[in-house]
Structures are given as C-alpha cells and as structure tokens.
A and B are shown apart, each in its own frame.
Chain A
Amino acid sequence: MYSTKYMKPNSTSEALDAINSLGEGKFLAGGMTLIPTLKQRLANPDGLVDISGCDLDSIADEGETIKIGAMSRHVSVAESAVVKKAIPALAKLAEGIGDRQVRNRGTLGGSVANNDPSACYPSAVLALKANVHTNSRSIAADDFFTGMFETALEEDEIIESISFLKPTKANYVKFPNPASRYAMVGVFVAQFGDEVRVAVTGAGEGGVFRHQEMESVLSSNFSADSLSSVNIVSDGLISDLHASAEYRANLIKEMTKRAVV
C-alpha cells in the first residue's frame, strides 16, 4: 500500500473534522474491503479516519425496532441475544458472512455504506424497512441504495446506526459464490402482518433490489408453492464467470422458496 495518514477520532464530530482536514480521506470501519484495496495499491487516500473509537457499536431493543450501531462487528450481531430474539434471520445473516476473521472485523455500517452488490447486509436493510441514521439525518432503506456501490450518503456523512423494523417472520437464504463466498444470490424475506418484502442481493446489476412480483404473491399466500408460477426475468441481472443471468434468475426463485418456511 501507499503510505497514508492514520487518524482515530473519539466521536463522529471529530471524525468529520478529521475527514474535512484531508483532501481525499477515507473513513475506515472494519476495513474488509478498503484494506485489501489499499494493499493492492488500487486506492491512494491521503488519510484514513478510523471510526472504531467513536462509540458506534451498541445494540438495543427500541420496541418496534432493533437499533444496531454502525461499528457493530458481524460477530456481535450474530451473537447478540437481542437480535437473536427479535430478528433471528438477521443474526443468521451475520453469522454467514465471510469467515471467522471477517466476522471479527467487518461491520454493519461498513458493509451498508460500501453497498457491494454481493454483500449480504443490504438485503436485510431493504427487507426489514430499516432506517439508516447518519450524523445529519435518517434515510429510509428504499431511498438509501442508489446503485452498485452507490448510496444516498454524502461525502461527509457517517452512518451512526441502523434501525431494523421487527418483522412477524423473516428469513435469509443465500447461495454463495463458490470462490469468494459472497452472495451469488441472497434473498431476505420479511413478513410484517399482511405485507411481505423480498430483497435480493448478489444478483442485480444495480445492486440490491426488491422483487415486487414475489412480494405480492407472497403477501396473498405466504408459501413456497405459490412462487411456482412466478417468472423471474433475467434482464438486469449480473452475468459473470460464475453465474449467468439465467442461472441467477433460477437461484433467486429457488432461494426465495427456501426462505419461505
């Protein structure tokens, strides 16, 4: 990696001051994407602002929602009694990210801010009607993800926490890329009374997306069988070395069926 300046502020406001003091600074959360990128000399920021000291790692039950600090490591979410009780599907998702090392370092906020089209967390944010709380505002999940690696975040905006709406029932099933074990297709299904939300990650050229047809079918009949008639079109799906758009379309339906139990 290129040499760079390392800063570790103690609050989000200090972190903002730090980033503003740099020309092309980068926030560093868990570093699971940024550090490898730096090591390969694919990025050359003039400073890293490590936000792990900003006290952003609490997990709390707030009644209708579970509020998780942005710096919560995947392992913390996976092992949280609060999360496991209220939204076990979210704990299951966190438990399935990467490997032990990644889960010990990677964070919720880092994953969501990066919006990797193959990351698991964005599907939970979208399906669980989450609100993304930054230092300046709250952004509804439906407005947050704006495209592959793109979000509604401004340059000097830090995610502080995310509130997930407690569902009646939810599940996450992913088909991992055999090599990277990122989601080749991951489907988060959440039921809120009569409403069902289905968020798909790993498959869309524009990143995570909701599948409205499956949502409406499942809203009227929450069963795997009801999905048989749904036709998943492959337009707009990623086609790469590991999976064609056609195969991904098949996996979206299949993973959704497996998530509906």
Chain B
Amino acid sequence: MSEGIGASVQRKEDKKFLTGKGRYTDDINRAGQVYAHFVRSDIAHANIKSINTKVAAEASGVVAVYTGEDIDVGGPICGWVVPNRDGSATHEPPHPLLAKGKVRFVGDAVAVVIAESLQEAKSASELVEVDYDELPAVVNLETASSGAEIHEGMAENRYFDWELGDEEATDNALNSASRVVKLTVRNNRLVPNPMEPRSALAEYDELNDSYTLYTTSQSPHLTRLVLAAFMFQIPESKIRVVAPDVGGGFGAKIYVYVEEAVCTWASKKIKRPIKWTADRTQAFLTDAHGRDHINNIQLALDSNNKITGLRVDTLANLGGYLSAFAVAVPTYLHGTLLSGLYDIPAIYTNVKGYATTTTPVDAYRGAGRPEATYLLERVMDQAAREVGMDQAEFRRLNFIPKDAFPYQTAVALQYDIGDYEPALDKAMEMIDYKNFENRRSEASKRGKYRGIGVSSYIEACGIAPSAVAGALGGRVGGWESASVRVDPTGTITVTTGAHSHGQGHATTFAQIVTERLGVPNSSVELVHGDSDRSPFGMGTYGSRSLAVGGVAISKAIDKIVEKSKKIAAHLMEASADDVEFKDGKFTVAGTDKETAFGDVALAAYVPHNYPLETLEPGLEETAFYDPMNFTYPAGTHIAEVEVDPATGVVEIVDWAACDDFGNLINPMIVEGQVHGGIAQGIGQALLENAHYDENGQLLTASYMDYCMPRADDLPSFKVGYTNTPCTHNDLGVKGCGEAGAIASPPALINAIINALSPLGVTDMSMPATPQKVWKAIQDSQSVAAE
C-alpha cells in the first residue's frame, strides 16, 4: 500500500497518545523543582491599595513571594496593530507580568507564591492580603465606551477603530439598492478548553546564564523571541524553549502568557526550577477566550437578487488586556473575508475593538473567519427568505464564477483559484436536498419541526505572506522553515518550525518525504517543538502547517534531490542533467544504469568515490518558505435538524460537508480535522457560551455550567471533497484545520431558523439552547394568537 501523498496512513503518534504515554510539560520534573501558584484577582476591576506578602512569605515551605513591584522585565506584547480611521495608532496599554496598581479581570495575576510543594504554595497564597478599591466592572460590549476607564488615558475604552473598503461606494450601493437586508448578529464568546491545561517549567542555568523553558506552546520559537527580545531583553541564544507533547491548543497556546514568563524570570531569582500548571478553573479564567463580536450588517440587492454592496459595522470585545493577535482577529482575519465566496462589488467595514474587564480575547480555531462567515451566511439566508428564493440557489446566483479567478475582492484579498458550484451541488446531493420537503412533512406528522441550513464559506489560510502581513500591521513574518537530513543509511530526519499538538504532522509530513524520496514512512522521523533542535520557525496556527511548513519541507527536499542527482551522476559516470530520480531510484536517460537513493546517501557520508572538488559531502538541506499569497479553502456545509417543540431540543439529524482543501496528503487525517472542526462549531452554535454577570464574574467557569460538545450531541458526518489545487505552492494544498469550525455554526443556526420559519421565526442567537428555542416557539405562538 502506498504511504505517499494521498494515502490514509495511520497516525504514527497515536500509539503513545492513545495509551497515555504522551510526555507533556507537567510530566517533566527537574531536580530541586519548586512550585508556583498565582494569587489572582477575584474582582473584575479595582485599584490595588496594598499587597501584604509578609505572612505568606513566612509560611511553611515558601521559597519566595513576588508582586508586580518586584518584577523588572516587561510584559506580553502585541503582535499585530492596525491604524485607526483618523490615522492614529492602535492603543497598546502595558500588560505587566503581575498586576501593578490595578486589576482588570477576574483571574488577573496579582502575586506569585513559590514553595517546595504545590499545596504549600496554595496555602500560602491564601495568606497574601490584597486590599482592593473596587471600580465599576465593564462587561457589556455595547456600552463599553461609556464604562469606567480601564486603561489610563485610553479614551472610551477603545483599543482601535479601524476600517477597510470603500465606504462611499458601499453606501451608494445601499442607497440605490432595490432591497437592503439588515441583520444584527452576535458571535458568542467561547472558552478554548484544550484537553491539556497550560503549564510551564522554567530552569535557570547559572553557569551559562541561560534559561530552559518547557511550556505548552503552539509556537516555541516565537515564545523564545518574545521572552528574550521583548520581555527580558537578553540574547535569544540564552533561552531555550521546548514545547513537548501539547494536548491541543486551538489558538489559546500561541501566545506568551504571564505565568510562563514569571516562572522563567523567578527561576533566576531563586536559582531553582519552577513548575506551574493551570487547573481547569484557571484555564477558564486565563486562557485567551475566542470570538465575542457584535455585527450590524446591511446587504444591498438589485432587482435581480444580485448583491451590489455589503456594509458591516462590528464591535469586538477584546477584554482587559490586548493579547498578542487580538487586533488581527476582528480586522485582517475578519474584515478581509467579508466577500465570502460571493461577487460583491462594494464592501465597507468598520471595526471598533473595546476593552472590557473580562479575560483577554484572541484567536480561537478560525480566528475572525468564523465570525465573518457567520455574519455573511446569516444575512445570505435572511436575504434569500426576504426575496423568496431557495437558500442554495440564492447563493449560487451570487457565487464568484469559476472563470473569474484570480478574483480581486473589494476587501484586499485576491483569491487565486476556486470553483464553488460543484461543492454546493455535491453537498446538496450528499444530503438529498431536493427531497427535503418530503422529510419536513414526514417529521411534521411526528410533531417535529424539520429544517435544513446551508453555509458556503471561504477562509484565508496558510498564514501568511510576510510582505502582505507586514503591510497590514503584522509584526512577525509568515514563513516557515524545514530541514531535511538524510542519514548515511538513507533514513530521514525532518525538523520543522511548525508544532504538532494533535494535527498528525509526524505522519503527514513523513508522507511528503515518502512521496518525494521513495523511502518508507517508517524511515522518516519528525523533530519539532524545541528551539535548540530545529531552525527558527513560526509555529502552528491559521491552518498553516502544511500549506507553509509542508511546502518548506518540499523545498528542502528539492535541494536534497538536486544534490543527490550530482552525487548519483558521479557514481554512474553520467552528466547530472541526464539523471532522473523516481521511486527512490536514480537512472540515466537512455541507459540501464541505476543507483538507489540509499547508495547516494552512503556515498555522501562515506565519500571515497565522490566529487569532493566540486561538491560538499553530507546530505542535509534547510529551506525557508514564504508563501506568495494566502490559500483559500472553501466549500459548503449543509445541516439538517429536527426541533422538538415540547422541549426546544434541537437534534442534528444529518450533516453534509463538501470542502475544497486542494490536494489532500492524508485523507483520513483531513477527515478527522473536518469532524473536529464541525464538532467545535456545533459547540459554539448549540452549547457553549462564556457568560459574565454584571460584576464581571465568569458564571460559566467550570464544566458544570460551560457546555462542551459530547459524542452524543453529534450526528455522523458525511464528508466529501472537491479539488482546485492551490496555484502558488508546490503541493497544491490549502489547509483544513479550521474549516469545520468556520463553516458549521451558520449551517446549524440557518437550519434551526429554517425549521421554525413556518412559525414566523426569523432569528436565533448562539448558542441555540433548548430553552432559547422553546422560547422562540412560545413567542411565535403567542404572536400568532394575538
């Protein structure tokens, strides 16, 4: 069986993960290790009048207690900024490692207690006395601008006020439209909930004056860069960052958090290794949350039901501090996607990002693109209903035609390739769209409301072309690195700057090597997650690992093949130009000469017969790849639901997903990503919600109240594909990690509205809990009765 590109090779990493043998940060222990516990604010917004650590410092087992006043290095930085409409810059208030003078959300770290045992650290933490002067909490996004000042000198609690697109052209389109469809939607706030909570273990080496930080990171090199260059201002070579097995991230583990930085800083102070691991409550309170937007949408249609313009005014809740990529999420990862897969001549969007006294908000699976897709696919449905068109046909009418690529949108992006109708057709066929009304009638006889919902989505993945990111306010590059080392026996070690925390890189990346070099999958070893062992890389987020990191591996293999051909030519006494390489064998055109890849590898390391005058020995190459453009996965998901009017329970009875991810390397892993993404989207649409009370207390801070999707909440998914290979990378791949989470929420909400539309229901907010659905049915009946 093939183990190359396109084969569903079983995941190499599953054995250790499924048998509980993964080695996570918290599994690592160092001699002399002590434990950190953070004293956290239980008030959302307050001035700190005083902190008394004296009693705690003298408690049993305590090694040290520090507050913000003790810390002499900087805090987390902002990795992306945007210009304001008036030309001024994004407001970037300081985020100290431990609160200085003020706390800005429940969970804000005020002090750290380090002790011989975790229990002693926790007990001593209770002895730290913090005297607060409470200030009004700012919780409501819509009124945040008139709330109490959160950051000194930051007017109206606004971090930024950004715009994109042609306002005049868009307003003209709205003014001259034959119909303007208006809708306001809210994208509910989510808590990421990776299975493994965040953890850090920091160790200081006195002899080298250097640090090693083991941490739960999706991007260990970036963590090293930020810690060394921005926070500690020491040479990067003095910090090694290791992200061993990491149990899921979903975005929340991209950023450098205060806890890992404090542990690193303190490890030098006390000259002992320090471990910190979040419990689930701390994860709820301090992992960067996701989403939390309010969008006011206006869609202009002409008399033929073609879209002529779109205006979206968005409020984004970014929480008490500006997290690393918080600014990018509602702006360049959101505003630029507002054309969806539709031909929209004029688009304008304004986004205002606000501080509130809640947990910081940042990228979460999809990051901006689910919010853009949700608002667009909701208003598309609303428009189809208003003009009386079938929801699928209304979309088809407005799709960018397949001969229009490359397609320049009205919001900065240029889509290189796509063909949207086949995915729509296939999804409709998979779910038997044409016979839906029969199923609706049949369900109605059983007393159930049945509905069907369509969501056609596009996303910009393969983050990111550096020049574009830089021009748009990004402060980092978007390339990825790889090195491919051929061992003397012909086995391969690949190192990558991408980081696998569930994605299956060890398998997928090996398949690229297998395909290109003809070596068995089992002969390929992947090294990642250690800043000392792999070339500088950008990490894993934004569905980039394959589309950028995988292509970097392919580029490094190109170099290996090129050099190998020269070695093979020498061995076969031929010209390198005449050497061909296929299926692991070098041949000379027009002869029966051949040399195996393994023989070339051996010759490179045992160069007894080798062109040493013109060629270096050894066979190891590194490549850095910076993409020319984003990749644009797209597709259509269709959900079918039945609503029980007696309880409001929504049962998902069918789901068809047809995605265009370009070429697939491992279809089994891709299908798993689609399943996981849809599950996460269903979580957002039906179950999950981070709910704060008016005092800024997170009421859903445990699994007793925060509802994660479970297996029995999910249907079996029908998964299909179309393929328009990406035009600008060697593998023709686009990325698949986020698609499910992007496509699914509007499909589900549209299906619920469709189910209830015979009752006159036209709106449903996320999460569509049984109570909310039941209430909508009750309200529609009382309206009908009046």
Interface residues of A (CB under 8 A from B): 1-3, 40-41, 175, 178-180, 182, 241-244, 247, 250-251, 254
Contacts and interface: CB of A to CB of B under 8 A. Distances in A.
Interface residues of B, number: 23
B119 A3 contact: yes
Contacts of B769: 178, 242
Nearest to B704: A180
A40 B281 contact: yes
Contact of A244 (B122, B699, B706, B771): B771
Contacts of A1: 119
A251 B691 contact: no
B707 A179 contact: yes
A41 B122 CA distance: 9
B703 A179 contact: yes
28 contacts: A1-B119, A2-B123, A3-B119, A40-B281, A41-B122, A175-B647, A175-B770, A178-B687, A178-B707, A178-B769, A179-B703, A179-B704, A179-B705, A179-B707, A180-B704, A180-B705, A182-B704, A241-B699, A242-B769, A242-B771, A243-B771, A244-B771, A247-B648, A247-B771, A247-B774, A250-B646, A251-B647, A254-B646
Contact of B774 (A180, A242, A250): A250
Contacts of B622: none
A58 to B, nearest CB: 32
**Chain A interface helix/strand/loop/mixed:** loop
B593 interface: no
A247 B777 CA distance: 12
B369 to A, nearest CB: 27
B23 interface: no
Nearest to A180: B704
Contact of B775 (A178, A179, A242, A247): A247
A3 B117 CA distance: 12
Contacts of B687: 178-179
A254 B647 contact: yes
Q: Which of A242, A247, A254 has the most CB of B within 10 A?
A: A247
B275 to A, nearest CB: 18
Nearest to B710: A181
B223 interface: no
9 closest A-B pairs (Cβ-Cβ)?
Answer: A179-B707, A180-B704, A178-B707, A247-B771, A254-B646, A179-B705, A243-B771, A241-B699, A254-B647
B187 interface: no
Main secondary structure on chain B at its contact with chain A? loop
A182 B702 CA distance: 14
Contacts of A247: 648, 771, 774-775
A180 B706 CA distance: 8
Interface of B: 119, 122-123, 126, 281, 646-648, 687, 691, 699-700, 703-708, 769-771, 774-775
Contacts of B770: 175, 178
Contacts of B691: 241
Nearest to A178: B707
A39 B119 CA distance: 11
Contacts, number: 44
A48 B521 CA distance: 55
A175 B770 CA distance: 10
- Output the residue of B700, B703, B708, B774 with the most chain A CB within 10 A: B774
Given A247-B771, A250-B774, 12 more contacts: A1-B119, A41-B122, A175-B647, A175-B770, A178-B769, A179-B703, A179-B705, A180-B704, A182-B704, A241-B699, A242-B769, A247-B775
Nearest to A181: B710
Contact of A180 (B122, B123, B703, B771): B703
A241 B705 contact: yes
A78 to B, nearest CB: 18
A242 B767 CA distance: 11
Contacts of B707: 178-179
Nearest to B648: A247
A247 B779 CA distance: 13
A250 to B, nearest CB: 7
Contacts of B123: 2
A191 B706 CA distance: 37
Which one of A179, A241, A247 has the highest number of Cβ atoms from chain B below 10 Å of its Cβ? A179
Nearest to A250: B774
A1 B126 CA distance: 13
A118 to B, nearest CB: 10
Contact of A242 (B119, B126, B703, B705): B705
A179 B646 contact: no
Contacts of B706: 179
A179 B706 CA distance: 6
Contacts of B119: 1-3
A41 B119 CA distance: 11
A2 to B, nearest CB: 7
A155 to B, nearest CB: 27
Contacts of A41: 122, 126
A99 to B, nearest CB: 9
A243 B648 CA distance: 12
A57 B646 CA distance: 40
Contacts of A250: 646-647, 774
Contacts of A175: 647, 770
A178 B705 CA distance: 8
B189 to A, nearest CB: 14
Given A41-B122, A178-B769, A179-B706, A241 B646 contact: no
Contacts of B122: 41
B260 to A, nearest CB: 24
A98 B200 CA distance: 32
A3 B118 CA distance: 12
Contacts of B699: 241
A254 B649 CA distance: 12
Nearest to B119: A3
A241 B647 contact: no
A247 B774 CA distance: 8
Contacts of A244: 771
A254 B281 CA distance: 35
Nearest to A99: B710
Contacts of A179: 687, 700, 703-708
A178 B703 CA distance: 10
A243 B649 CA distance: 13
Contacts of A2: 119, 123
A175 B771 CA distance: 12
Contacts of B704: 179-180, 182
A112 B398 CA distance: 61
A38 to B, nearest CB: 12
Contacts of A178: 687, 707, 769-770
A241 B699 CA distance: 8
A2 B124 CA distance: 11
A195 B771 CA distance: 33
